[in-house]
Amino acid sequence: MNRRWRMLGERLSQVIPVIVLATIIVFGLLQLVPGDPAMTLAGEQATDERIAEIRHLYGFDKPFLVQYGTWLGHAAQGDLSRSLLSGERVVTLIGQSFPHTLTIVVLALLISLLVGVPLGILAAMRAHTRADTAISALSSVGVAIPNFWLAMILVTYFALGLGWLPATGATPLGESVVGSLRHAILPALALAAGGIAELTRQLRSALLEVLSSQYMRTLRAKGLSETAMICKHGLKNVGVNLLTVIGLLFNRLLGATVVVEAVFAIPGMGSLIVRAAINKDFPVVQGVVLSMVLVVVATNLLIDMLYSVLDPRVK
């Protein structure tokens, strides 16, 4: 246990520079705004007072490092300023939006695992057969299909056509679990297509590598069945690969959900950042990007800790 704590400390010392750099990048986004950022952010018909207010809000008249330091100081205390559009606190907006996004992403991750893992095992066990070819063709489609297009197809058939599930909106998980799942299932399916494909491919190639190893040959010589080999020995050895893929997948799904939310009019992080980006509501843009990257960093840290549980060789 002691060793594990030391590892956590080591990992944290690697994570902190990443977090610091991430905040610099998020804050630095403002530097990309062409011209006088205060005028651009205030909009075309802004009064001089409004421009002055925004200039003061961001401290555009001060040097970059001072601006950054002030912003970081506030952010560290959980103050991400207010929306230029609605005047609401950015932290409040993110708090309202994030649960919707997380519900879809987690559900999509579960679907990806439930479908992708069996498909990956099947493809590895039946490698170079017709079943394998069919699965690999399907995953080529899954990787390349625009998920918002798949979302539109799902809406057309299952929401508008058959009326099984609602086409738009979202219900908070706390209000009604069933209602929340009914709203989340189509977006999650649209997201999961890419996840299933990715998982299937990675698992197949990882399993094939394990199956061709020396100890697998020994097991086969002992007369162990192919199924027992995969379930008892193969999966245990690809667990680490699987974790890596899940970590990458989580990052990918968090991004992809932004576009899918637009199709289902879900008031999540995606809708929040898209509206903010179009309207130059920069505090909101920065808040969403920052919170997303923090979630990813935290997840990766968690996954690194799980490595040491799963794989005794990881020091």
Partner 1 sequence: MRGWLRRDLRAAVCLAYLAGLVLLAVLAPWIAPYSPTAQKGAEALADPSAAHWLGTDDLGRDVLSRLIFGAPASLYASFLAVSIATGIGVPFGLLAGLLGGWVDRIISRLIDTLLSFPGIVLAIGVTGALGVGLTHGMIACGLVFSPTLARLARAQTLVVKNELYVDAARCFGASTGRILLKHILPNAVQPLIVQLTLLLAAALLAEASLSFLGLGVQVPQPSWGAMLARAYTYIDIAPEQMYAPGFAILLTAMAFNGLGESLRDVLDPTMKRR
Please give the residue ranges that form the binding site for partner 1 (CB under 8 A). Answer: 17-18, 21-22, 25-26, 29-30, 32-34, 127, 140-141, 143-146, 148-149, 152-153, 155-156, 160, 205, 208-209, 251-252, 254-256, 258-259, 262-263, 273-274, 276-278, 280, 282, 285-286, 288-289, 292-293, 296-297, 300
Least distance CB 8 / partner 1 (angstroms) = 18
Least distance CB 268 / partner 1 (angstroms) = 12
Least distance CB 223 / partner 1 (angstroms) = 25
Least distance CB 33 / partner 1 (angstroms) = 5
Closer residue to partner 1 in complex, CB, 137/177: 137
Least distance CB 175 / partner 1 (angstroms) = 27
Give me the phi and psi of 126, to 5 degrees please: -105, 35
Least distance CB 314 / partner 1 (angstroms) = 18
Question: What is the total residue count of the chain?
Answer: 315
Closer residue to partner 1 in complex, CB, 12/141: 141
Closer residue to partner 1 in complex, CB, 181/279: 279
Closer residue to partner 1 in complex, CB, 57/127: 127
Closer residue to partner 1 in complex, CB, 70/251: 251
Closer residue to partner 1 in complex, CB, 193/229: 193
Closer residue to partner 1 in complex, CB, 66/153: 153
Least distance CB 174 / partner 1 (angstroms) = 25
